[in-house]
Structure 1
Amino acid sequence: MATDRDVLPDNIKPIHYSLSLYDLEHGGAFSYEGQVSIDVKILKSTKEIVLNTHQLKIHEAEVKITKTEDLHKASNISYDAPRQRAIVSFDEDLSPTHNAQIVIKFQGTMNQSMAGFYRSRYKPTVPAAQSVARDDEYHYMFSTQFESCDARRAFPCFDEPNLKATFDVELEVPEDLVALSNMPEKEVKKSSKSNFKIVSFERTPIVSTYLVAWAIGDFEYVEDFTRRKYDGKSLPVRVYTTKGLKEQGRFALEHAHQIVDYFSEIFGIEYPLPKVDLLAVHEFSHGAMENWGLITYRTTAVLFDEKTSDARFRNRVAYVVAHELAHQWFGNLVTMDWWSELWLNEGFATWVGWVATDYLHPDWNVWSQFVAEAVQTAFQLDSLRTSHPIEVAVKDALEVDQIFDSISYLKGSSVIRMLSSHLSQDVFLKGVGDYLQKHKYGNATTNDLWSALSKASGQDVNTFMDIWIRKMGFPVLTVAEEPGQISVKQGRFLFSGDVKPEEDETIWWIPLGLKTGPKAMDANAGALTTRENTIRDIDDSFYKLNANQNGFYRVNYPPERLVKIGEAKDKLTDEDKIGLIGDAAALAASGLGTTPALLALVENFRDEENYLVWLEILTRLGNIRSIFSEDDEVSKGLRRFTLTLISPITDKVGWEFKTGEDYLTGRLRALLIATAGLVGHEGVAEEAKRQFNAYTSGDKSAIHPSLRSAVYRIAVTEGGKEAYEAVRSDYATTTSIDGKDVCLSAMGRVQTPELAKDYLDFLFSPAVAVQDVHSGGMSLGANAKTRAAVWEYIRDNWDSKIYSTLSDNMVVLERFLRTSLNKFANYEIEKEMSSFFGGKDQRGFDRGVSVISDTIKGNAKYKERDLPIIREWIKAHGYANPMSSLKL
């Protein structure tokens, strides 16, 4: 047993759970009673059984020896609350046996923490069933969220991923409500309680506790069937919602049945359960959860209204549906052995989720999106000293939640993409299929995956991938030129730019991905496996490393070469362009390059028409404007630069959505209008205000759904308190599934500390769901005019509002802090934060605090170093002139 894990004693092995929940109190206390019978093997003689519980009360417990019918009643039940355990003690030894059953009666609460068995509030849009739990304003549904370690909040259990068992679930619910679980209904019978029924479900396959699920509510569904036959018949695929919303599940439904068939084919293993249910949950701390056979989703990740939803949510729904369905094999059928290998679940599901999205939507250019969003976000965290390896030591439950981050998901998926590109996707998926087949219904490790891939490919995958998984950070390749050849040298990249020798000892396996010559042909340059090497036969007219940004590393070209590559951008794929711009921006921040070099590079992209390339450009320019926002001259100059850069394409794309227009052009329009309006384009700002005024005056057709976010953000920025209050009013009344997200983001564009404080008071009021608090914090934190007010508010209201509201779910607390505070570029603020949090119990969010500190110090160092040269560049290139009006 690994000594770095705080795990349960190894004297008990669970085999099967029979779980019954009853006396569900649907109002007031929201309590319930339960009984769980656990068939176990007793492996060592013991006088106590230790299992996981959290916020449960055990009434009584006993052990039955099924062969001898011996009965041992517990003599004492005690709790180790910090370790989330219950200790059930007996007067006599329990002897080793394979035929024991633990029977526990207990009481729990359907909490509001979005963890365990919990309740979600919502406002009904149609008449509801009589017995729906409700108060004066809201109705409630009930569902579970057990990953990573919250099954223990719902029932006493052995809550570790490698302690798998089968489950029988039985729920006593009102007759007019729907009960769901992992498996189909087995039987429905009348309860002894009037107007109640008892719903029992088929037995699950062997499964980890974190994947068990159930839900109770006033549900309806839309249904389709797989086209592929499973044991001779098509499987039912359903999207469940609370009543009145089911039609918004059709977009997800159309994807779900196709994806189940697609994964069954490419993995070579058929979907293993008899049904697939997707459930929209109104309050949800994550994006979605892959419970086997009953996948739960935040509403904006599974519902889409063709008439009122922003088109960008098409992409979100398609991808998240695919990601969670990938888990039905990779994570559920085969589960990581321990949470340190979380990346096995999340990294793979992220990558293959994009594979499936690309399969269904080849016109969406999803791999460019992956490079612009996933790869660049992973780089950002992994360039900090406070990053962590993909495979990271995890001691216990509170540490697990903090690694559900962009390293496990996005760096994990990025290195999988790198490996798949190297081996070829077909070979890679053959190895994955072999891995799943060998370990199905069990647990596996990273080395098990490498072994399967090595066998499928004939290459020693472990040799070149082990370092990528077990070492934090990533390399930058520094290029030096000589006639007809280049030398490349690898070293660790840090955002702060001050790598110490002891931090730069890793030698990565780096696939070079070289393109060279007038036609940018692939050159077989192999991989760099030493500190440095020379590559010959380079055509000096053009070359580029890391083709299509397949490798997880950055490239530092000589300044003159960067200019030449920018001038030859017609030879670059969209992924190449995004990678080139991202590299230049990161190198400028670290001091290995300069911001003027980045600005000169992006000037070459005035005529660019690809949405995802523009997304990368404008994200980078927005970050630079944020870091240098305290210098008024530079701030205005950077806004003028951005405005000059985007005005031609903004003019061209315009406001009108044309019939038959492709999806990405619509996304580009929304991006350009939002950016232009926020950097001072008078024409765009005036039209946005006109549409906003018409919309808020009652003309709900005045704003295209895909421009609502852009228009709202511009309106609040320009319109002050009146516009802010209009958006806040819309938040309270919107029926659009993405309406609350749009409003929260826009309200964060307020321009005064007073309105920022008002908004924060609103965020931490009962009017706003806890799941949404971080969205508002992210918007305020990214806003140079309000981020100081956010820090002041957190500091002054930590105990009374921040911690008390968010600490029941550390995922939400840590996310709120990161997104609210990581945009500062001020050493003094960082010292204040370090002092403040240093005096707090940081367990459960300490990693986030360290990331914030590291990020702020890096931002401050960047600002200190590049401010003078940016000021000079702005003056020399005419961007220091007063802002002039541009009409559109």
Structure 2
Amino acid sequence: MGKGFYVSKLVLAVGIIFAVAAVSTIIALAVVYSQEKGKNNDVAKPPETTTSSSGTSTATTTTTATATATATTAQSNDPWNKYRLPKTLSPVHYDVELQPFLVKNADGLYVFRGKSTAFFICNDATDLIIIHSNKLNHTKFNSFDAKLQDGATDVALKSTFFQKDKQFLVVQAAANLVPGKQYGLYTEFVGELADDLAGFYRSEYLEDGVTKIIATTQMQAPDARKAFPCFDEPAMKATFNITLKYRQPYKAMSNMREIDRSTVTEDGQQWTVSKFDKTPKMSSYLVAFIVSEFEAVGDPGNATVTGVQIWGRKKAIQDENQGEYALSVTKPILDFFAEYYRTPYPLPKSDQVALPDFSAGAMENWGLVTYRETALLFDDQVSSIGNKERVVTVIAHELAHQWFGNLVTIRWWNDLWLNEGFASYVEYLGADKAEPNWNIKDLIVLNDVHRVMAVDALASSHPLTSREDEVNSPSEISALFDSIAYSKGASVIRMLSEFLTEPLFVDGLASYLKGFEYSNTVYSDLWTHLQWAVNNQTAVKLPLPIKDIMDTWVLQMGFPVVKIDTATGVVTQKHFLLDPDSVVTRPSPFDYKWKVPISYKISSKEDNIWLQNESETVEDFKITGNDWLLVNLNVTGYYRVNYDDNNWSRLLNQLQTSHQAIPVINRAQIIDDAFNLARAKQITTIQALDTTKYISADREYMPWQAALSGLSYFTQMFDRTEVFGPMKKYMKMQVNPLFEYFKQETGNWTNRPVSLTDQYCEINTLSTACSYDIEDCLKFASELFSQWMATPQQNNIHPNLRTNVYCTAVAQGGEQEWNFVWDRFQLTDIAQEQDKLRAALACSKEPWILNRFLEYSLDPTMIRRQDAVSTISSVVNNPIGQSLAWDFVRAKWKTLYSMFGESSFSFGNLIERVTRRFSTEFELQQLLQFKADNQNPGFGTASQALEQAIEKTKANINWVNQNKAAVKKWFEDAVVP
């Protein structure tokens, strides 16, 4: 968020008037409300677990509070001093007109003017209207127009004021409103079109030497109130008519199609007025509008054909055709989801818009989806296969939300995981439809399941859902947008779909969407409809109702480790903690026991069972001879697996003799489970390292990625110690056969492998070989980069290889190479190429260069605000840069917090990354001192990440002390000829 909000002299004068008025009105309001408090102070209670309704109580809050006047003397239990809205009013419709001024005013600010009428129904007699408003300096309250059924009648106002902390506009009528009647609150306002990436904000870009301005939006979670006064909560659904007033050569777009365009003259200037069709009933956080000079590719559609267009900078869309790939996959994905959900797409158009400045990766605004440029635009001359995968999966994720999230919406943010977890699962299905040859669905195991387990294995993790009253403030809401919501949510929904079977899952899902369309739900409503599907068939048998199974995964944090003793057949489950000495203080309704679906393979036999208790005996699991048991086939279950030593030995022997006998995904699972079990002291570190001995013979991406991920922890712990020498020799020994394989397969790196995963494996191979100083790799990268420096306008480095080549060249080079990359970074306007170059700039081995780059990260003329956190994180990834970045974060914490701490979804990543290598008592004390020194301003959305960093640092210290000598010896022995 921006550091502050500056107002013009006129608006400031209006603010002073309201400030004076506030002192007298607050006292009057406190008296008037002595009888209303009991009713209005009700905060929405935790939802029932059967059904839910829409349109009544829910709420949200905002990030920073800047209002014209503040109810400083009001009592804490007054309704305007609560984050949640009272239940007395329900919105019905909004008429909103906004006029952005895309040139600076006399005070040097970009501003917008607005007019809005919020129509609402009175549910209970009250004279109090509480509506969200943030950073809007209201210039007029039009006597609070009352729209009654028997005609328009004005209702007199008694007083108005702003509640700063909770971001409310509070209006008191002269008499009680009548239950069942509809009213309309009219306001006029002025807001700053700031560059804070929230609400109605400003973005800029350079095209042909000219700075272009965009007025655009990002409302999720609590920032629609920054654009116009509204009941800014997900359950407060209404319809919207948006009107935008702007000057040529700009054009406007919103959620719906333009239905009228006219011109007006104001102060001698001609303005275009675009009116957009009425939206369906929807939540305020999905409202979107953009005024820009963007161009589009695609079909705008008509009365019978849904329009699909890709929008972006004119040069990117018209000159460089960067929207063509997104256009080619958007319509197939949209059609797939309409079929998958068994519900037609509800809107007449689906615009996808690439924004130069955007805080999130993308946002699912209904009918007007917004993206970072890197998540939508693609240029096959400079974009890698990874860039291509990101485009198709992000599009699939956002289009999945058009039904699951937009048509049917969670009642409150405590169930955010249901929205984001579901979309994070089905994005793989949508992407698979668009790119059927990629086999992309398997990658969820690496990208989501394994990745989130590292977080969910901490004692400071949290459940997928929580009580509504536990999530209130802006930072509490924003903190929910984490890997637990997205990746754990995706993992458990995938597990649910697998044990139900996909057809049955889709039956229940279609029923759920039909039952709650244009309405709101709680997570258990999905269980109800899936149970209906189960009850209507006989093929799939479950041991318990879906609710009883899934609540064990949703209402408690973490996951189990399933341990099998193949001598006795005994199967046990236990809460898996990465640090077994950590203390879990969060209570669990199920005592950290789960209902676990177990799939397994013994020789040629595959089957499924359920583990419902802490310990059970399974006859099939009694293994004799050379047979081995493999549990959690294709990692469809969200749990880790441990075995007795004999079965571990049989599995390792199979890997080293004929690894193809074990499925690819499970080879990755064995490695990933082993490394994490070792950190948890459930097997030895030596056993975990032994799983990598065979890897030099494997040519598949997933096992290699699992091995590199597991070994990355050893790198983080030991790359500043004497252990790293023998480790480096071992890594060179293991990766060299793979390097030679791909060198031959690609004709000395001139051709790319065919499959997606083979291309990823090639990329990993070069990255690993160069990072461990294999001479042929360093020479290859250096020669390619030197050729580019000699002819800067002709970059012959394949896009797949650029990230590694750029980084290797900058690391080996000095100021000249760094400056060359910096110049290229400034010159290119292709966001995906900028990301590759920006990451390479963090690879320098010169501390003064890295320190300079860190300073650039907070200068928006050097590095875009949206990229500041990821730039610092890139420096952290460099062993030389880690301590520099930590010093920088400590010194600049107040600045970083003011920019990102209250609302940025990714702010917690900064703490996680900058402390990733911490493994000494000294570093722990630094971290604790950092926490103590910054209680004011605090840590905002990074609060939980800080606690997790402290927990992980303590675990790292113990692990290093216990394993350093043995690890050093293992690597030394492994490289002996």
- Provide the TM-score with structure 1 as the length reference: 0.93
> What is the distance in 2 between the residues matched to 1:844 and 1:79?
26
* Contact kept? 2:448, 2:487, Cα under 8 Å: yes
Q: For 1:666, what is the secondary structure of its paired residue?
A: helix
Q: Which moved more, 1:642-651 or 1:561-570?
A: 561-570
Residue 462 of structure 1, aligned match among 531, 547, 564: 547
The reply on whether 1:656 has 2:749 as its aligned counterpart is yes
Q: For 1:703, what is the secondary structure of its paired residue?
A: coil
The reply on whether 1:811 has 2:905 as its aligned counterpart is yes
Question: How far does the alpha carbon of each residue in 1:567-614 deviate from its partner, in whole angstroms, 9 at most, with x for none?
Answer: 323222222122111111111222222332222111112121122322
Query: Equivalent residue for 1:630?
Result: 720
Residue 144 of structure 2, aligned match among 63, 72, 76: 63
Query: Equivalent residue for 1:680?
Result: 773
Residue 861 of structure 1, aligned match among 951, 958, 961: 958
* Contact kept? 2:685, 2:963, Cα under 8 Å: yes
Q: How does 1:68-83 map to 2 (within 5 A)?
A: 69-83=152-166
Against the structure 1 CA distance between its residues 640 and 814, is the aligned structure 2 distance closer, same or farther, given a 3 Å change threshold?
same
> What is the distance in 2 between the residues matched to 1:665 and 1:224?
35
* Contact kept? 1:671, 1:710, Cα under 8 Å: no
Question: How far does the alpha carbon of each residue in 1:167-198 deviate from its partner, in whole angstroms, 9 at most, with x for none?
Answer: 00000011321101000011001122333210
CA positional deviation for 1:58: 1.4
* Contact kept? 2:90, 2:123, Cα under 8 Å: yes
Query: Equivalent residue for 1:152?
Result: 225
* Contact kept? 1:123, 1:138, Cα under 8 Å: yes
The reply on whether 1:413 has 2:490 as its aligned counterpart is yes
Query: Equivalent residue for 2:186?
Result: 103
Letter in 1 for 2:951: D
Against the structure 1 CA distance between its residues 857 and 84, is the aligned structure 2 distance closer, same or farther, given a 3 Å change threshold?
farther
CA positional deviation for 1:748: 1.9
Against the structure 1 CA distance between its residues 313 and 189, is the aligned structure 2 distance closer, same or farther, given a 3 Å change threshold?
same
Q: How does 1:534-553 map to 2 (within 5 A)?
A: 534-538=617-621, 539-540=623-624, 541-553=627-639
* Contact kept? 2:241, 2:279, Cα under 8 Å: yes
Against the structure 1 CA distance between its residues 345 and 501, is the aligned structure 2 distance closer, same or farther, given a 3 Å change threshold?
closer
> What is the distance in 2 between the residues matched to 1:564 and 1:240?
56
Residue 169 of structure 1, aligned match among 233, 242, 255: 242
Q: For 1:811, what is the secondary structure of its paired residue?
A: coil
Residue 730 of structure 2, aligned match among 641, 646, 653: 641
* Contact kept? 1:367, 1:575, Cα under 8 Å: no
Name the count of aligned residue pairs.
859
The reply on whether 1:523 has 2:607 as its aligned counterpart is yes
Against the structure 1 CA distance between its residues 666 and 679, is the aligned structure 2 distance closer, same or farther, given a 3 Å change threshold?
same
Letter in 2 for 1:238: Q
> What is the distance in 2 between the residues matched to 1:557 and 1:143?
54
Could you list the runs of 5+ residues in structure 2 that have no partner in the other structure? 1-42, 47-58, 60-82, 536-541
* Contact kept? 2:118, 2:184, Cα under 8 Å: yes
Letter in 2 for 1:498: D
The reply on whether 1:791 has 2:886 as its aligned counterpart is yes
Q: For 1:603, what is the secondary structure of its paired residue?
A: coil
> What is the distance in 2 between the residues matched to 1:593 and 1:723?
46
Query: Equivalent residue for 2:11?
Result: none
- Provide the TM-score with structure 2 as the length reference: 0.85
Q: Which moved more, 1:656-665 or 1:51-60?
A: 656-665
The reply on whether 1:30 has 2:30 as its aligned counterpart is no
Q: How does 1:183-262 map to 2 (within 5 A)?
A: 183-193=256-266, 194-224=269-299, 233-246=304-317, 247-262=321-336
Q: For 1:260, what is the secondary structure of its paired residue?
A: helix
> What is the distance in 1 between the residues matched to 2:152 and 2:300?
47
Query: Equivalent residue for 1:694?
Result: 787
Q: For 2:905, what is the secondary structure of its paired residue?
A: helix
Query: Equivalent residue for 2:948?
Result: 851
Q: For 2:176, what is the secondary structure of its paired residue?
A: strand
Could you list the runs of 5+ residues in structure 1 that have no partner in the other structure? 126-135, 882-888
Against the structure 1 CA distance between its residues 45 and 558, is the aligned structure 2 distance closer, same or farther, given a 3 Å change threshold?
same
* Contact kept? 1:224, 1:257, Cα under 8 Å: no
Letter in 1 for 2:119: D
* Contact kept? 1:305, 1:737, Cα under 8 Å: no
The reply on whether 1:87 has 2:162 as its aligned counterpart is no
CA positional deviation for 1:559: 3.6
Question: How far does the alpha carbon of each residue in 1:8-41 deviate from its partner, in whole angstroms, 9 at most, with x for none?
Answer: 1111111000000125243341101101101111
Letter in 2 for 1:31: V
Question: How far does the alpha carbon of each residue in 1:217-241 deviate from its partner, in whole angstroms, 9 at most, with x for none?
Answer: 0011110489xxx98x331110011
Against the structure 1 CA distance between its residues 209 and 364, is the aligned structure 2 distance closer, same or farther, given a 3 Å change threshold?
same
The reply on whether 1:357 has 2:441 as its aligned counterpart is no
Q: How does 1:275-314 map to 2 (within 5 A)?
A: 275-314=349-388
Q: For 2:875, what is the secondary structure of its paired residue?
A: helix
CA positional deviation for 1:465: 0.4
> What is the distance in 2 between the residues matched to 1:223 and 1:856?
51
Q: For 1:622, what is the secondary structure of its paired residue?
A: helix
CA positional deviation for 1:150: 0.7
Query: Equivalent residue for 2:683?
Result: 593
Letter in 2 for 1:334: V
Letter in 2 for 1:43: N
CA positional deviation for 1:616: 1.9
> What is the distance in 2 between the residues matched to 1:847 and 1:576?
32
Letter in 2 for 1:558: D
Residue 572 of structure 1, aligned match among 649, 662, 665: 662
Question: How far does the alpha carbon of each residue in 1:107-136 deviate from its partner, in whole angstroms, 9 at most, with x for none?
Answer: 1111111110111121215xxxxxxxxxx8
> What is the distance in 2 between the residues matched to 1:549 and 1:82?
46
Letter in 2 for 1:613: P
* Contact kept? 1:111, 1:118, Cα under 8 Å: yes
> What is the distance in 1 between the residues matched to 2:429 and 2:719?
39
Query: Equivalent residue for 2:521?
Result: 444
The reply on whether 1:338 has 2:412 as its aligned counterpart is yes
Query: Equivalent residue for 1:117?
Result: 200
> What is the distance in 1 between the residues matched to 2:432 and 2:653?
30
Query: Equivalent residue for 1:886?
Result: none
Question: How far does the alpha carbon of each residue in 1:136-187 deviate from its partner, in whole angstroms, 9 at most, with x for none?
Answer: 8632212100011110111111000000000000000113211010000110
> What is the distance in 1 between the residues matched to 2:278 and 2:734?
61
Letter in 1 for 2:806: Y
Query: Equivalent residue for 2:255?
Result: 182
> What is the distance in 2 between the residues matched to 1:501 and 1:73?
56
Query: Equivalent residue for 1:472?
Result: 557
CA positional deviation for 1:500: 5.2
> What is the distance in 2 between the residues matched to 1:313 and 1:808?
30
Against the structure 1 CA distance between its residues 361 and 567, is the aligned structure 2 distance closer, same or farther, given a 3 Å change threshold?
farther
Against the structure 1 CA distance between its residues 804 and 721, is the aligned structure 2 distance closer, same or farther, given a 3 Å change threshold?
farther
Letter in 2 for 1:713: C
Q: For 2:765, what is the secondary structure of its paired residue?
A: helix
Q: For 1:103, what is the secondary structure of its paired residue?
A: strand
* Contact kept? 2:102, 2:214, Cα under 8 Å: no
Against the structure 1 CA distance between its residues 625 and 815, is the aligned structure 2 distance closer, same or farther, given a 3 Å change threshold?
closer
> What is the distance in 2 between the residues matched to 1:851 and 1:450?
31
> What is the distance in 2 between the residues matched to 1:762 and 1:727?
14
Letter in 1 for 2:454: Q
Letter in 2 for 1:324: E
Q: For 1:93, what is the secondary structure of its paired residue?
A: strand
> What is the distance in 2 between the residues matched to 1:723 and 1:591?
45
Query: Equivalent residue for 2:828?
Result: 734
> What is the distance in 2 between the residues matched to 1:224 and 1:70?
45
> What is the distance in 1 between the residues matched to 2:96 and 2:278?
11
> What is the distance in 2 between the residues matched to 1:720 and 1:636?
24
CA positional deviation for 1:735: 3.1
Query: Equivalent residue for 1:703?
Result: 797
CA positional deviation for 1:786: 1.8
* Contact kept? 1:763, 1:776, Cα under 8 Å: yes
Q: For 1:222, what is the secondary structure of its paired residue?
A: strand
Q: Which moved more, 1:143-152 or 1:818-827?
A: 818-827
